[in-house]
Amino acid sequence: MTLTFNPTVYIDLLAQTMPSAIESEEEYQRLLSLTESLHFKKDRSLEEKKIYKLLVTLIELYESQQHSIPASSPHEILQHIMDSAGLRQSDLVEIMGASSGVVSEIVNGKRSISKAQAKALGHRFKVSPSLFI
């Protein structure tokens, strides 16, 4: 049996949910709650699936504008990895093949990481070297 889309049912769902561009945290939470309830509903109708997709799109747009994570610089990424791994600057001297002074400048953001150093760091921490460039 093929289900057909019912515009009247869809209009009723639109009236109930009243989706619109999200301009406040309260509206975001309201639409998020509605979306979650639709997400976990079994046997969604075609109309509910369409409303769900609309709500997800509105939420994703709001999150990309309001909740974006700022990009980190290569030395900030390195500092984070060092902290997570419990490493000190002196531990990087051998990994990077550089003097302690150069490592200090890199960790403090005063010197950029070379491609060879980025490759060595990527290999050691099992991440893409592009994180450090």
- pLDDT per residue over 17-36, tens digit each? 999 999 999 999 999 999 99
Give the C-alpha distances (Å, rounded to integers) separating 13 from 7, 28, 108. Answer: 10, 18, 55
- Considering the domain delimited by 74-132, tell me its CATH architecture: Orthogonal Bundle (1.10)
Cα–Cα dist 128/133, whole Å:
10
**More reliable by pLDDT, 1 or 45:** 45
